Amino acid sequence: MFIANWKMNKTQSEARAFCEAFLKIFTPSPNGTVDVGIAPPYTAIETAKKSLGNTPGIDIGAQNVHWLSAGAQTGEISAPMLKEIGVSFVIIGHSERRQYYGESSKFVAARALNAIKHGLHVIACIGESAADFERGVTREVVYEQLVTSLEGLKPQHTSQLTIAYEPVWAVGTGHAATPEIIAKVHTQIHDILSQLFGKEEGKSLPIIYGGSTTPDNIYEIMCQEHVSGALVGGASLDPQTFNRLILNGRKAKSG
Ligand code: PGA
């Protein structure tokens, strides 16, 4: 699956223009599955949803969600609000939220549980910092983040869960992790997920990679065994570029 994370980009009119251009070139996955997701900022979700109409193969998501269903939480957005406007997945624990807004794994777990309860699919993001990577403690950091961010989730919830491995040093830097690093860490993540949820459930959980993916590097990344897709920032903002990334990524899994 290929998830567009628009971050704080695109007004409603810009979102509409993207969707109109994207629909002219987009083809659904040949095997009939939904393998594309678009996560606009909250204000453009409904516009994007309407612009895409009933096009098969594309889901709409949000970039965060609160852990309560309603209440006195000024400035926040809840799962039922998102459900009602057609959102089917939420990105939780993105490194930008962890870095700039004090997001902790504990709150990621609370957000995930409530989102799942409301029928949303959760994309939970984890990933080590540059300093952690240089110290060689990626596995330890990823382990801690997974255990705490998924606390309270049960094996029966795994069908509504995707893990996004996004090394902080690769996000928005133009320096994607190498396919070798991605393969190694995704294998470790699958092992940890098997410890947490049981062998079968753990292994079947999709893990997507994020961090400076482009139409040019996606094929090699997707050729790795434990990679089910990508969380795409910069390269998802232009319809042509995002579509090329999808097509090249699909090629890796079809051959
Ligand atoms: P990027 O962002 O593709 O621009 O590196 C990825 C992400 O933050 O999800």
Closest atom of ligand 1 to 5 CA is 9
> Residue 52 to residues 26, 40, 49, 57: CA-CA distances in angstroms?
11, 13, 5, 10
Q: Choose between 226 and 253: higher pLDDT.
A: 226
Tell me the C-alpha distance between 23 and 86, whole Å. 18
Q: What's the pLDDT band for 83 if we cut at 50, 70, 90?
A: very high
Catalytic site residue from 66, 166, 201, 226: 166
Average pLDDT, the chain: 97
Q: Could you tell me the distance, in angstroms and rounded to a whole number, from the CA of residue 125 to the centre of ligand 1?
A: 11
Q: Cα torsion at 85, 87, 90, 91 (round to 10°)?
A: -90
Question: SS3 for 74?
Answer: coil
Backbone φ, ψ for residue 41 (5° rounding): -65, 160
Q: Is the separation of the CB atoms in 210 and 165 below 8 Å?
A: yes
Report the pocket of ligand 1 as residue ranges, CB < 6 Å: 5, 166, 171-172, 210-213, 231-235
Residue 181 has pLDDT above 80, yes or no: yes
Q: What's the pLDDT band for 36 if we cut at 50, 70, 90?
A: very high
Residue 166 is a catalytic residue: yes
Per-residue pLDDT tens over the stretch 90-148: 999 999 999 999 999 999 999 999 999 999 999 999 999 999 999 999 999 999 999 99
Selection from 141, 146, 225 nearest residue 182 by Cα: 225
Q: Is the separation of the CB atoms in 140 and 186 below 8 Å?
A: no
Q: Could you tell me the distance, in angstroms and rounded to a whole number, from the CA of residue 159 to the centre of ligand 1?
A: 24
Helix orientation angle between 138-149 and 179-197, rounded to the nearest 10 degrees = 40
Residue 84 is a catalytic residue: no
Q: What's the pLDDT band for 171 if we cut at 50, 70, 90?
A: very high
Per-residue pLDDT tens over the stretch 245-255: 999 999 998 86
Q: Could you tell me the distance, in angstroms and rounded to a whole number, from the CA of residue 173 to the centre of ligand 1?
A: 8
Total-model pTM: 0.97
**Token digits for 32?**
């009939």
Per-residue pLDDT tens over the stretch 59-70: 999 999 999 999
Residue 167 has pLDDT above 70, yes or no: yes
Q: Could you give the percent of the chain with pLDDT greater than 70?
A: 100
Instruction: Supply the pLDDT for residue 203.
Output: 94
Instruction: Supply the pLDDT for residue 254.
Output: 85
Instruction: Supply the pLDDT for residue 255.
Output: 64
